[in-house]
Structure 1
Amino acid sequence: MAANTHITPPIKAPIPRRRMHPTRRISLAAGILYVLTFVSIPTLALYKAVKDDAGAFVLGAGSTAGVQWGALSEVIVGLAGIGTAVVLYPVAKRVSQTAALGFVAARLVETCLIFVSVVSLLTILTLRNDVAGTAGTDSASLVTVSHSLMATYNWTFLLSQSLMPVACDLLLGYVLYRSALVPRILPIIAFIGAPLLLASDIAIYFDAYGAVSPIAVLAALPVAVFELSLGIWLIVKGFKPTPLTTDHADTSQSTAT
């Protein structure tokens, strides 16, 4: 009688998971963060009640939901802005340490000013909810304070989300142009848009026209096009293959081992 033989089935080797290229991870994260910085666009409508008349708003006119959602979106913008600089820093510093550090510093200043502006609006909201209508409250004083806080918001907005992108885009545009990580047309748009936005900011500062006037919107358009196009490109395409990205990948892998 033949002996029973037990045949062990061959063990299949585990299929190795494909790991995303290190520079692809950086470009994808940076692209998503750049797109996130556009979530505050609806604040033009969300803040309408408080911007039209801060005094009437603090006394109870209009809805508070718009201010709450708008403030939250601006906090997201500030954090996403810092994220873009931090995520891109490992690549940017290989082109220029000064530009990379400058980009991070400019984003930090921008976010700090954004938070100041958000606190101004939330303070108006607190005055409306907790102070207005209580016994002994001087309505005239509340109206004056609210208009002062609204002025603080407007000035910090000019310095943060209008002026600081000039520095951010010039520094990042320099890095992208030198490195050729993205099509050259993108940093060229930044080089055109940043001085145009700076000129507009100076005009607004000297009261030549309003911050939301058609001229101001047109002046800010090239910078917006650069940042949105860069975000979409980094999500869809990533960085173009260059010795810079290859060297970065090799460095990352050797460090990991």
Structure 2
Amino acid sequence: MTTTALPPISGDRGRGVLPTEARDPRTGSRMWTSRLIGALFLAGFVIYGTGSILVNSVVDGPDFLAGVSARQTTLALGAFLMIATTAVDIGKAVLIFPVLERNGKRTAVAYLATMIFEMALMTVGVLALLMILPLADQADQLGRDAAQALGSLAVDANEMAYQIGQLSLGFGAMFLCALLFRTGLLPKWLAGWGLVGYAVHTAGAAAEIFGASISLVLLIPGGIFEVTLAFWLLIKGFTPAAYDRSPAQSGQ
């Protein structure tokens, strides 16, 4: 009698094939970390940008202090969003620290330090902006011209703090991108783009500090890199082989 051999029963039959991330905990950890860092890159971009637009809608103009009383909520909300970016960016730097540390401890520490310095300066700048609110309330007692001059000084102080902070960010991020390029944590084309973009960004911030208003144009390559990086991390994540590399393998 002829018998038909039955195919072996697969362990996955009847319960479906588990996703790669569920089968390999390391992949799940890599993607979770990558996606969270990518989300924070996008969040910081959107939150600070929104806050800056709200603040500028109030303080743009030669005699903006006269209209502050009617737009206090807009100014306060914008300042709150700008200062909330500090928590987002520090969180991003803390999350990426162990990823970088496995491949270059000094670079990881330097990037974290420059991010903290940047966020400290941006916080000082936003606090200067918030001084506009009491200035508007006391404008009659101080004199309109004096109050407007102090308000303009607060806006300039925020701008200067922002540019110095961006100079720090660009400097630290160049070392970050150099490490990403060297270790293969990101594709070389993306890491190289970031290295060039942040170098240009640093030059723009330095030019602004010395009075040349060109940072907005020079910000574009670095800004596009950050958005591209965010989506890359959300979809692809860090390169697996480089992400799982131990300190011994990286030569530390």
Please indicate, yes or no, whether the TM-score normalized by the shorter chain is above 0.5.
Answer: yes
Q: Which of 126, 130, 152 pairs up with 1:122?
A: 130
Q: Residues 95-244 of structure 1: matches in 2 within 5 Å?
A: 95-128=103-136, 130-133=137-140, 136-160=141-165, 162-208=166-212, 210=213, 215-242=214-241, 244=243
The TM-score with structure 2 as length reference comes to 0.79
Q: Which of 81, 84, 99 pairs up with 2:89?
A: 81
Q: Residues 59-70 of structure 1: matches in 2 within 5 Å?
A: 60=68, 63-70=71-78
Partner of 1:6: none
RMSD: 2.5
Identity of aligned residues (%): 24
The TM-score with structure 1 as length reference comes to 0.77
In structure 2, runs of 5+ residues without a counterpart are 1-17, 248-252
Partner of 1:56: 64
CA drift of 1:69 comes to: 2.4
CA contact (8 A) 1:31 1:232 kept: yes
SS in 2 for 1:48: helix
SS in 2 for 1:238: coil
CA drift of 1:49 comes to: 4.1
Query: Using the alignment, how far apart are the partners of 2:64 and 2:77 within structure 1?
Result: 20
Query: Using the alignment, how far apart are the partners of 2:120 and 2:73 within structure 1?
Result: 24
CA drift of 1:123 comes to: 1.1
Deviations 1:216-249 (A, max 9, x none): 322111111121111111112111220542659x
Runs of 4+ in structure 1 deviating by more than 6 angstroms, as ranges, are none
